Amino acid sequence: MMIAMPIAGVIAGIGGIVLLCNSVFMATATYGLWTMQPWGAPLTTWVYALGIILSFLAMFPILPGDRFSVGNVVLQLVFIAIDVWILTYLHAYRPAVASQAYELDDLRKNSDL
């Protein structure tokens, strides 16, 4: 694709790499939250903030020949709303979750397992 359409192919390739990296970071952040690691909440904050930026950028047609679509704009606004809801939920309950994560970390360090 990059050879056939030089400009659009490069943009699509870069976009694919960014989305792949974002997916890997989302999976890592999910693991960090699920296992209550101290780095899970900050990584999740950064990943979902990046998701908001990427969703906002995806609303605008950047490839040659693209057009605005009401469906795309609505879908991206839904994704932005979900990301904002997750960030709000995470930061509203972050002290409780963080204290549980630190207690769990202390238990891991002090256990004989």
**What's the Cα-to-Cα distance from 65 to each of 8, 14, 47, 61, 77, rounded to whole Å?**
10, 18, 30, 8, 22
Higher local confidence (pLDDT), 98 or 84: 84
Higher local confidence (pLDDT), 49 or 10: 49
For residue 107, pLDDT over 70 is answered with: no
Share of the chain above pLDDT 70, in %: 73
Higher local confidence (pLDDT), 109 or 85: 85
End-to-end Cα separation, the chain, in angstroms:
52
For residue 39, pLDDT over 70 is answered with: yes
What is the predicted pLDDT for the residue at 57?
A: 85
- Residue (of 85, 84, 57) closest to 72 by Cα position: 57
Mean pLDDT of the residues in the chain:
80
How far is it, in rounded angstroms, from Cα 113 to Cα 110?
A: 9
How confident is the model over 86-106, as pLDDT tens digits?
888 888 876 666 566 666 666
For residue 2, pLDDT over 70 is answered with: no
